[in-house]
Amino acid sequence: MSKKLLVVACGILAAVLMVAGLGVRADEFTKEDVERYDAEFMSVVKKGQALWGSPDLGTNKVACGQCHPNAANTHPETYPKFQKQLGRVIAFREMINWCIRNPLEGEELSADDPRMTALQAYITYERRGVVLEPGKH
């Protein structure tokens, strides 16, 4: 592609992004929208809560809630952070998978597995209002 064409292409892309951006800003939520989003969110939190108390994520009949009642000592507000088990800075879901692999002897969940989303929804809902402190130990 010539330089001139590239400049024109970038201009068009910028214009498209601007229009899309304005569209997002113009969005307004009605009361019904908010009620629906809340209901959808809470239904996923409930799925996470059910998984929390169930042995289904593992192979040894152990459940997350046995060691972390009500999501205790999960500290989602401290992620991403360095974790010595993995030897690097990790995302919160990687620590969830660490516990699935180790105490539960289960198989890791992929990042977009609905069960991973449900676990994160449940844990962060339990910890709502806690100040974000990424990196903290």
Using the rule CB under 6 A, is 54 a contact of ligand HEC? no
Q: Which residues pair with 82 in a beta bridge?
A: 89
SS3 17: helix
Rounded Cα distance, 120 and 131, in Å = 17
Measured at CB, which residue is nearest to ligand HEC? 64
* Residue 48: exposure state from Cβ atoms within 10 A (0-12, 13-18, ≥19): buried
Q: Of the ranges 11-19, 24-32, 97-105, 125-133, which one interacts with ligand HEC (CB under 6 A)?
A: 97-105
67 binds ligand HEC (CB under 6 A): yes
Interaction between residue 66 and ligand HEC (CB under 6 A): yes
**83: Cα within 13 Å, side-chain hemisphere:** 20
Nearest to ligand HEC of 104, 121 (CB atom): 104
Q: Which residues bind ligand HEC (CB under 6 A)?
A: 57, 62, 64, 66-68, 73-75, 78, 95-96, 99-100, 103-104, 119
